[in-house]
């Protein structure tokens, strides 16, 4: 069972990111956004996601990293392939995961959402451990912050045409 303390999930590995700021309204959390990430693309494991969200990614470690090394991005959570939960930003702060976005006529989803990255790609099935951890995390966030069950979206739904994740491999019936 997952628990929150001071907006951090106690059972998560904490890897604080500098890439966040205050929400315009601290008590306005009403959406969960599902993403995917793999670094290098299509490769799983390793420390590169932590490094990206911590502004420590070595641009010489992989050719792709030269394209993204200067990005200032973050997410609240990452769920690795084995189900490990990592938290980068406390839930009451604005992580920088959604970019230009809109949900049900409301712009700037970072202002009022919690971002969850799944280690994966658009076209590779996610693991059962990831779905189990994701269900538990969503349940905790919905209960603690009063997020309604229908306020769950993929990055592709809040930034259509710009983003494709979590992709067609994501099985929405699992959540």
Q: Distance between CA atoms of 9 and 141, rounded to whole angstroms?
A: 10
Residues in the chain: 175
Question: Active site residue: 51, 67, 84, 117, which one?
Answer: 117
117 part of the active site: yes
DSSP-assigned letters across all residues of the chain? ---EETTEETTSEE---S-EEE-SSTT---EEEEEEE-SSTT--SSSHHHHHHTT---TTSSTTHHHHTT-----SEEE-TT--EEE-S-TTEEES-S-S-EETTEE-GGGTEEEEEEES-TTSPPPHHHHHHHHHHHHHHHHHHT--TT-EEEHHHHSTTT--TT-TT--GGG-
Active-site positions read: 117
């Amino acid at each position: 069972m997952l628990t929150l303390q001071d907006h951090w999930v106690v059972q998560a590995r904490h890897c604080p990111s500098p890439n966040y700021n205050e929400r315009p309204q601290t008590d306005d959390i009403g959406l969960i956004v599902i993403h995917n990430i793999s670094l290098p693309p299509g490769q799983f494991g390793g420390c590169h996601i932590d490094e990206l969200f911590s502004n420590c990614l070595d641009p010489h470690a992989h050719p792709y990293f030269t394209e993204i090394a200067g990005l200032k991005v973050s997410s609240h959570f990452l769920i690795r392939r084995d189900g490990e939960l990592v938290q980068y930003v406390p839930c009451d702060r604005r992580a920088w995961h959604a970019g230009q976005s809109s949900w049900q006529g409301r712009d700037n989803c970072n202002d009022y959402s919690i971002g969850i990255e799944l280690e994966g790609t658009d076209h590779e099935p996610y693991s059962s451990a990831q779905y189990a951890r994701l269900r538990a995390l969503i349940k905790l966030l919905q209960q603690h912050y009063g997020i309604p069950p229908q306020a769950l979206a993929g990055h592709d739904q809040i930034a259509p045409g710009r983003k494709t994740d979590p992709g067609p491999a994501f099985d929405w019936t699992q959540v």
